Amino acid sequence: MTATETGIVSLFGLDPDTYAPHRLHAGDRVYVETNCYTDILIEFVHARGDEPLAMMGCVLAVDFEGDQWTFFKPRPEDVERLYGLDIHEMQPYRPLPGQIVEQIGAGRTLIVELDSWYLPDTAATSYRNEHVKSSVIAESIDPGGERLRYFHGAGYYELEGEDYRGVFRLGREFSSDVLPPYTELARLDAGPRLLGEDLRRAARQMLAENAARRPSRNPFLGFGEQLARDLPRLLEGDAAAYHDYAFATVRMVGSAFEAGADHVEWVLGEAGEGAAASMREIVEGCKTLSFKLARRREFDPAPAIANLATAWDEAFAKLDDALA
């Protein structure tokens, strides 16, 4: 934790102008982002100097859950075991800026759901356009200067002034029928922090545990059945309905297995290349299916679903062999 004479308190002393995101958020990926929670945890762990790939075995358990794929997050017990990082809910019963100052001062920080209306890094989507909750991790705050630096999406950003007052609901009358934001405390002192080969060995054990948690039935079969029922409605709907559907389905599972492929290769090295290659077939299949859905023209999704199901079977068969 660092503090300056200007009143800024900072956990890592970062600068948004020079911050370099982790390679899981590189611009050449099919899916630059995963989901709002997993993305910020990736960058938080990376900024601390740890390897976030170690915790990404969680994606192996994703399933189709009726109308969407699993909104995957690194398992709290894995995060604590790997990095000594304990994340648990806390009560935002006081103004959040004061709580953030105190927690950063103690070497901890808050994960909090904020309104993307006031997050300038969402200028292409939600900023001053729609009210959407999104999780951020506070890294630095200056209450006097009305400035917050935070992890969000694939990077590290700053907001100030009117946006600062907006996200923390300060300085004017706001609607009273809004619930307090869901808030978590991130403690960095919950246990030993594994490094080097110790981290990789622990991640390998968790990889096997997460692989064993995979769905008992190939989840693309259930997705294909539901997509056949949903397709007429999607073709008749508007672009907004398509984007919502795509985010919850093909984009979610595609981003999961893109991260999963990198995780398997990082943990297993050459032995994991076959499983990773099949996972990347899932990624490409999801991208292709996204394009077909975006055209909003009638098509038969069965061949695409069959290929995805085959790639899923092959990925886990190869992974089981690599872990044996």
Count up the domains in the chain and report the number.
2
Q: Report the run of H or E that residue 156 belongs to, with start and end.
A: strand 155-160
131 and 26 assigned to the same domain:
yes
pLDDT exceeds 50 at position 306: yes
Share of the chain above pLDDT 90, in %: 85
**Residues contacting residue 55 through CB under 8 Å, at least 6 positions apart:** 41, 45, 74, 75, 78, 79, 82, 83, 203, 206
Residue at 49: amino acid letter: G
Q: Which of 187, 204, 235 is the last residue of a domain?
A: 187
137 and 279 assigned to the same domain:
no
State the pTM of this model. 0.94
4-35, pLDDT tens digit by residue? 445 899 999 999 999 999 999 999 999 999 99
Q: Has residue 205 been placed in a domain?
A: no
237-268, pLDDT tens digit by residue? 888 888 899 999 999 999 999 999 999 999 99
Domain ranges, residue 7: 2-30+86-187
152-186, pLDDT tens digit by residue? 999 999 999 999 999 998 878 777 777 888 999 99
91 and 227 assigned to the same domain:
no
Q: Residue 173's pLDDT is what?
A: 77
7 and 134 assigned to the same domain:
yes
Q: Residue 238's pLDDT is what?
A: 85
Q: Span 139-147, mean pLDDT? A: 96
d(CA 257, CA 31): 10
116 and 246 assigned to the same domain:
no
**Residues contacting residue 165 through CB under 8 Å, at least 6 positions apart:** 146, 171, 172
Question: What six digits make up the tokens of 118?
Answer: 């006031």
- Using alpha carbons, select from 64, 71, 58 the residue that is nearest to residue 308: 64
| CATH number of the domain encompassing residue 94 | 3.90.70
Q: Span 54-82, mean pLDDT? A: 97
223 and 175 assigned to the same domain:
no
152 and 224 assigned to the same domain:
no
Q: Residue 5's pLDDT is what?
A: 44
3-state SS class at 162: helix
Long-range contacts of 294-301 (CB under 8 A, 24+ apart): 294/242, 294/246, 296/234, 296/235, 296/239, 296/242, 297/235, 298/231, 298/235, 301/224, 301/227, 301/228, 301/231
